[in-house]
Amino acid sequence: MAESKLKARGEAFKELSSKDKTKRITDLLLNNAMYIIIILAVIYISIKVPAFLKLPSIVNVISLTAAKLPIALGIGGCIVLTGTDISAGRVVGLTACISASLLTTTFKVFPDMNSAPPIILVILLVIVTGGLVGLVNGFSVAKFKLHPFIVTLSTQLIVYGIILMYLMKGSNNGQTLSGLTDGYRSLITGTLFSIPTATGSVAVPRYVLYSIILVILMWIIWNKTTFGKNMFAVGSNEEAANVSGVNVSKTIMMVFVLAGMMYAITGFLDGARIASANANTGLNYECDAIAACVIGGVSFVGGIGRISGIVVGVLLLQIIFTGLNFLAVDANMLYIIKGLIILIACAIDMRKYLVKK
Amino acid sequence: MGEENQQTGQQETRQLRGLYSKVKISVRTLNIIIVVLAAALVACMAFAIAKGGFRVSFDSQGGTAVETQIRMHGELLEETETPTREGFEFDGWYLDPGGTVPWDPEEDTVTESMTLYAGWREK
């Protein structure tokens, strides 16, 4: 059946005038320009550095993608609401610091503690912290109608101040937190399963599984719950959603709270993954997350986005930057490349919705 | 939402919603922008790849200077001249100034730009 559909489309294409044909081809090329460039880059890199396509490299890319997915999933919701959330990175940093300061063997922030609290307690604590920041963001956006940029800019700075003061507590004096408990580290970075290769085996870490669970969870929330439908309705047209009975304020607040909780989980995972936490943990994470969302089709037009798109966006970005690293590209150039990618993704995004009839 | 346009097959400026609500741009301009930016991106990547190479600098921590090396991903270090220092014996290269994480020149490969620090032992 798919074959006959393809045939029908091919025949319809031939029927078009040559002017329409060029228009169709231009549309196809330009709307997918990002993917084309990335695929070409991957091909080039695989030829130059064959190690890029080997199993350890692939597992590395998948692991890094899994680490950066939860924050992108959270921020995706804010973008669907035509907003943004630039406090994301700092919330990740705060929750990483909280996790690292509690689940450690050398207590510096709380020198009076002798044993680490149960992990489940720390998880709940950081989720509540993230949700609280999200609540402050969401409340200010919903009730005071402030633009999310202003609100999250303020929360970003406030959370950074909290991180700095938190790290000065006890006997720590602003140093990096490390020396995490074995239980914490093995829970996150322990081996999920090993893939045997010719020269040994490659281990897939556990946080890949947690990321997959979060992706499924967010997919259900976005597509199968009333909250998800409301989120898309408010993002498309706030007045129309209000008129048709959606509680706009509550929806906005819940989106930001959910985002905050996702950042908290990212921080919890990152603390163990990097095996340390300091005031710079999480710095600028939101840039990568927003870029991934835009590449993945979550449009700034509002009310449009798919979880699968976000996963693809994070994966593609990670592939590009791992590949560029294999080619020993100057790290400073990566910022310029990242900026250009965001601009191109935005231009393509605008074009897609401008041309739609 | 945007104004519905009765004339099909023509691309003129339409109002967008959301973050683009104040944007008035024609599809032709956007096409040009996308192509220019994509070309700039490819140019940047090509330029960066051509000048690729991680810089490994050597901090001899008081001894004679050792030249910086440019290495590609996954390569071992080239042979370095052993630095000298009055009253001290060279103890090898380390990843940290404190001399706790050693660098094995036979095994360890370069995966990023970095600085290696000289370890010294008193004679």
Each residue's pLDDT tens digit, B49-102: 888 788 888 888 788 888 888 888 777 888 778 888 888 888 888 887 777 778
pLDDT the model gives residue B1: 44
Residue B3 has pLDDT above 60, yes or no: no
Judged by CB atoms closer than 8 Å, whether chains meet at A328 and B23 is answered as no
- With bands split at pLDDT 50, 70 and 90, how would you rate the model's confidence at B24? confident
- Choose the weakest-confidence range: A143-147, A161-165, A262-266, A329-333: A329-333
- Choose the weakest-confidence range: A67-71, B14-18, B106-110: B14-18
Phi and psi at B117, nearest 5°, equal -110, 140
Interface with A, mutate which of B20, B42, B77, B110 (most A CBs under 10 A): B20
pLDDT the model gives residue A1: 66
pLDDT the model gives residue A223: 95
Which chain B positions have a beta carbon within 8 Å of A333's beta carbon? 44, 47-48
* Stronger pLDDT, B111 or B2, i.e. the higher one: B111
Domain B54-122, classified CATH 2.60.40.4270, yes or no: yes
Residue A51 has pLDDT above 70, yes or no: yes
Residue A292 has pLDDT above 90, yes or no: yes
Residues whose CB is less than 8 angstroms from the CB of residue A53 and which lie 6 or more positions away in sequence, other chains included:
A46
Judged by CB atoms closer than 8 Å, whether chains meet at A301 and B40 is answered as no
- Choose the weakest-confidence range: A209-223, A229-243, A296-310, B46-60: B46-60
Distinct helix (H) and strand (E) counts, chain A:
15, 2
Residue A45 has pLDDT above 90, yes or no: no
Q: How far apart are CA A345 and CA B4, in angstroms?
A: 25
Q: How many CB atoms lie within 10 A of CB B79?
A: 8
Residue B4 has pLDDT above 50, yes or no: no
pLDDT the model gives residue B57: 85
- Average of pLDDT values for A47-61? 88
Mean pLDDT rounded to a whole number for chain A? 90
The residue in chain B having the minimum alpha-carbon distance to the alpha carbon of residue A320 is B45
Q: Which domains does chain A have, with CATH numbers?
A: 37-355 (1.10.3470)
- With bands split at pLDDT 50, 70 and 90, how would you rate the model's confidence at B13? low
pLDDT the model gives residue B106: 79
pLDDT the model gives residue B11: 45
Contact (Cβ atoms closer than 8 angstroms) between residue B37 and residue A351: no
* Stronger pLDDT, A123 or A26, i.e. the higher one: A123
Interface with B, mutate which of A330, A332, A336, A356 (most B CBs under 10 A): A330
- The full set of domain ranges for chain B reads 1-51, 54-122
Among candidates A237, A340, A350 on the partner chain, residue whose Cβ is nearest the Cβ of B20: A350
Put simply, whether B38 touches A (Cβ < 8 Å) is yes
* CA distances to A66, A296, B31 from A256, in Å: 21, 20, 34
pLDDT the model gives residue A351: 86
Closest CA relative to residue B78, chosen from B51, B110, B112: B110
Q: How far apart are CA A352 and CA A307, in angstroms?
A: 19
- With bands split at pLDDT 50, 70 and 90, how would you rate the model's confidence at A357? very low
- Average of pLDDT values for A26-38? 85
- Choose the weakest-confidence range: A24-38, A100-114, B109-123: B109-123
Give one word for A102, left, alpha or beta, with left for phi > 0 and alpha for psi -120 to 50: alpha
Which chain A positions have a beta carbon within 8 Å of B8's beta carbon? 357
Closest CA relative to residue A71, chosen from A87, A58, A56: A87
Residues whose CB is less than 8 angstroms from the CB of residue B79 and which lie 6 or more positions away in sequence, other chains included:
none
Percent of chain A with pLDDT over 90: 60
Put simply, whether B31 touches A (Cβ < 8 Å) is yes
pLDDT the model gives residue A166: 93
Residue B8 has pLDDT above 60, yes or no: no
* Stronger pLDDT, A259 or A2, i.e. the higher one: A259
Put simply, whether B45 touches A (Cβ < 8 Å) is yes
Which chain A positions have a beta carbon within 8 Å of B19's beta carbon? 82, 300-302
Q: How far apart are CA B85 and CA B90, in angstroms?
A: 8
Residue B7 has pLDDT above 50, yes or no: no
Percent of chain B with pLDDT over 70: 88
pTM of the model: 0.85
Q: How far apart are CA A129 and CA A134, in angstroms?
A: 9
Put simply, whether B10 touches A (Cβ < 8 Å) is no
Judged by CB atoms closer than 8 Å, whether chains meet at A237 and B113 is answered as no
Residue B117 has pLDDT above 90, yes or no: no
In Å, how far is A246's CA from the nearest CA of chain B?
18
Judged by CB atoms closer than 8 Å, whether chains meet at A350 and B49 is answered as no
The answer to whether ipTM exceeds 0.85 is no
- Choose the weakest-confidence range: A8-12, A303-307, A329-333: A8-12
Contact (Cβ atoms closer than 8 angstroms) between residue B76 and residue B109: yes
Structure-block tokens of residue A207: 């946080």
Q: A22, exposed or middle or buried, with CB in 10 Å at 0-12, 13-18, 19+? A: exposed
